[in-house]
Amino acid sequence: MDSFTCDMCGKVLLAEENTRYIVKIEVFAAYDPLEITRQDLAGDHEAEMARLLAQMRSMSTEKLEDQVYRSFRFDLCPGCQEKYLAQPLPGKSG
C-alpha cells in the first residue's frame, strides 16, 4: 500500500489516520463572451499579434501556461480537512 502524508501538517495518512481527504484545485482563465465592435474589426490586428508575440517571448513557458490553466492536488488528514473547509482561502473568513 502506498503511504500518504498530509500536505498541510505532514501526518502519515492511512497509518496514523484511517481517513484521508483529497483537495483538487483548478485555476483557469475565465473568458467572458466578447462584444465585437466595428472599431475592433478596423484595428491593426497584425501589429497587435506582433506585440503579443514579442511580449510572450520574454515570458517563461510556466508563466504562459499559468495564465491559461493550472491544477493542484493535496492530501489532507481529517483535522486539516476541517480547517481547510472552514477557511479555504487564506486571509478570508469562511
Each residue of 12-46: pLDDT tens digit? 998 777 899 999 999 999 887 778 888 888 878 89
- 26 occurs within a structural domain: yes
Judge contact between 9 and 78, C-beta under 8 A. Answer: no
Q: Give a yes or no: residue 38 inside a domain.
A: yes
- The pLDDT-based confidence of 1 (bands split at 50, 70, 90) is very low
Per the domain annotation, does 44 fall within a domain? Answer: yes
For CA atoms 71, 74, 78, 82, the dihedral sign is: negative
Residue 82 maps to a domain = yes
By residue range, what is the domain housing residue 73? 4-86
Residue 58 lies in a domain: yes
What residues have CB less than 8 Å from 68, skipping those under 6 apart?
Answer: 28, 29
- For residues 55 and 93, which has the higher predicted lDDT (pLDDT)? 55
pTM of the model: 0.69
Is residue 19 within 8 A of residue 76, CB to CB? The reply is no
DSSP-assigned letter for residue 17: B
Please indicate, yes or no, if residue 25 is contained in any of the structural domains. Answer: yes
93 has pLDDT over 70: no
Q: What is the pLDDT of residues 67-86, one digit of tens each?
A: 899 999 999 999 999 999 99
Please indicate, yes or no, if residue 39 is contained in any of the structural domains: yes
Q: How many separate domains does the chain show? A: 1
Is 92 inside a domain boundary?
Answer: no
